[in-house]
């Protein structure tokens, strides 16, 4: 696929400046410049840990029965990255696209809350949100204070001696009904969230911006395919691979945090001229 960077950025800006209903679909690469590593890139979590072990409830139980050192290591890494993570220039550019009336919604596979923190308001989180909890008793969902929760997690990581499920449960926030709660994130093998809404958004889109995803996690990866079926033009930004864009679409081989502000500046110029 032809990939002259500035030409592709101009092309993306032209398409977006005429869009009536652009929808964003983001994955882990979107937050790479916020300091949160992607899962599948070298050095990422799944490069070092087996998802079948650490990403499922039975896997977690088995690691706890071995003392929980691996769980502590993963929690320590998550806390370090998420404590420092802030929306990057790409997240901010997308929020600007919404304020300009170009972007209709964001569908994200990320659990890091960074699209909301950047100012995007219509966000569908198909894999949940790390700062939202679900009560196992009454099923209600509630957001927790980000730094308080990360400190609690940090306490778990710093602890010594065998780690138990009870020890973890004691430190996670309780529901107002008194019930035990868990982070409202989707683990391997669990049902995704808001998929119906995400597919509805895809069907409404005339442009889909696909950012930082390897497209291997289903059913989330159906979303761009549904947008294409509905006739949307795809604009994909990824520094290493093209997953969804075909020859009639736009592929930008660049980091999302670099390309998006450039595109949004160009969209603004075109809107001013009109
Ligand atoms: P992935 O790790 O499978 O793939 C990441 C993709 O991003 C790759 O194609 C890579 O080439 C690209 N990429 C890397 N750096 C980039 C950058 N700076 N700009 C743009 N693209 C970049 O990610 P996935 O497809 O989202 O699937 C992994 C699953 O893991 C997701 O479903 C998500 O739920 C979860 N996850 C979430 C976070 C987070 O919340 N930030 C982080 C890691 C993984």
Residue 41 lies in a domain: no
Cβ neighbour number for residue 274 with a 10 Å cutoff: 6
Which residue's CA is minimally distant from atom 30 of ligand 1?
39
203 is catalytic: no
Kindly give the number of the ligand 1 atom that is closest to the alpha carbon of 33: 18
Pocket test for ligand 1, best of 5, 25, 26, 28 (most atoms within 8 A of CB): 28
CATH code at position 116: 3.40.50.1220
Ligand 1 centroid from CA 213, angstroms: 5
Query: Distance between CA 163 and CA 144 in Å, rounded?
Result: 23
Label residue 25 left, alpha or beta by phi (over 0 means left) and psi (-120 to 50 means alpha). beta
pLDDT of 3 > 70? The answer is no
95 and 223 inside one domain: yes
Residue 61's domain comprises: 47-84+131-185
Would you say residue 2 has pLDDT above 60?
no
Give yes or no: residues 93 and 25 share one domain.
yes
Say yes or no: 228 and 213 in one domain. yes
Q: Kindly give, in sequence order, each residue whose CB lies less than 8 Å from that of residue 109, ignoring residues fewer than 6 positions away.
A: 26, 27, 28, 126, 127, 213, 217, 220
The CB of 255 under 6 Å from ligand 1? The reply is yes
The finding on whether 182 has its CB within 6 A of some atom of ligand 1 is no
What residues pair up with 183 in beta bridges, in sequence order?
Answer: 133
pLDDT digits (tens, 9 = 90+) for 126-172: 999 999 999 999 999 999 999 999 999 999 999 888 888 888 888 88
- Asked if residue 152 and residue 122 are part of one domain, the reply reads no
Name the more confident of 62 and 114.
114
Q: Is 239 in the pocket of ligand 1 (CB under 6 A)?
A: yes
CA 267 – ligand 1 centroid, Å: 26
Residues 272 and 203 grouped into a single domain? yes
In this structure, the residue with its CA closest to atom 40 of ligand 1 is 110
Number of structural domains, the chain? 2
Q: What is the pLDDT of residues 15-25, one digit of tens each?
A: 999 999 999 99
Is pLDDT at 192 greater than 60 in this prediction?
Answer: yes
Q: Per-residue pLDDT for 226 more than 80?
A: yes
Do 65 and 115 have their domain in common?
no
Cβ 73 under 6 angstroms from ligand 1: no
Q: Name the token pair of 198.
A: 């995400």
Do residues 222 and 273 both lie within one domain? yes
> How much of the chain exceeds pLDDT 90, in percent?
75
Does 27 sit in the ligand 1 pocket, CB within 6 Å? yes
Other Cβ atoms within 10 Å of 172 Cβ, number: 16
Q: Where a domain ends, among 185, 201, 228? A: 185
Same-domain status, 113 and 249: yes
Q: What is the CATH number of the domain that holds 138?
A: 3.30.1600
Domain assignment of residue 175, yes or no: yes
Please state whether beta strands 233-237 and 250-252 pair in parallel, antiparallel, or not at all (unpaired): parallel
Pair (51, 135) in one structural domain: yes
Q: Ligand 1: distance of its center to the CA of 153 in Å?
A: 23
Q: Which residues contact 75 (CB under 8 A, 6 or more apart)?
A: 153, 154, 156, 157
Q: Would the CA dihedral through 248, 251, 256, 259 be positive or negative?
A: negative
User: Are residues 98 and 176 part of one domain?
Assistant: no
Domain finish residue from 185, 205, 229? 185
Structural domain includes residue 52: yes
Among the candidates 145, 166, 185, a domain finishes at: 185
* Residue 70: both structure tokens together: 């691996």
Note whether 180 and 101 are same-domain residues: no
In a domain, 42, yes or no: no
The answer to whether the CB of 31 is under 6 A from ligand 1 is yes
């Amino acid at each position: 696929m032809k990939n002259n960077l500035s030409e592709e950025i101009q092309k993306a800006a032209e398409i977006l400046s005429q869009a009536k209903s652009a929808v964003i679909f983001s994955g882990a690469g979107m937050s790479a410049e916020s300091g949160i590593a992607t899962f599948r890139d070298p050095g990422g979590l799944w490069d070092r840990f087996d998802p079948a072990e650490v990403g499922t409830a039975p896997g977690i139980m088995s690691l706890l029965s071995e003392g929980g050192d691996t769980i502590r290591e993963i929690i320590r890494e998550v806390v370090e990255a998420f404590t420092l993570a802030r929306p990057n220039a790409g997240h901010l550019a997308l929020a600007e696209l919404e304020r300009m009336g170009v972007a209709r919604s964001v569908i994200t596979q990320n659990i890091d809350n960074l699209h909301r923190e950047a100012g995007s308001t219509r966000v569908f989180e198909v894999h949940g949100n790390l700062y939202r909890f679900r009560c196992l008793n009454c099923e209600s969902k509630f957001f927790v204070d980000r730094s308080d929760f990360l400190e609690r997690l940090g306490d778990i990581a710093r602890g010594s001696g065998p780690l138990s499920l009870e020890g973890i449960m004691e430190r996670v926030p309780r529901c107002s009904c008194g019930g035990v709660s868990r982070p409202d994130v989707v683990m391997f093998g669990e049902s995704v969230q808001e998929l119906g809404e995400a597919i509805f958004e895809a069907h409404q889109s005339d442009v889909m911006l696909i950012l930082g995803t390897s497209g291997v996690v289903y059913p989330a990866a159906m979303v761009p395919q549904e947008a294409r079926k509905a006739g949307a033009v795809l604009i994909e930004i990824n520094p290493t691979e093209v997953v969804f864009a075909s020859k009639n679409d736009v592929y930008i081989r660049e980091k999302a945090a670099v390309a998006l502000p450039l595109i949004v500046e160009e969209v603004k110029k075109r809107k001013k001229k009109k």
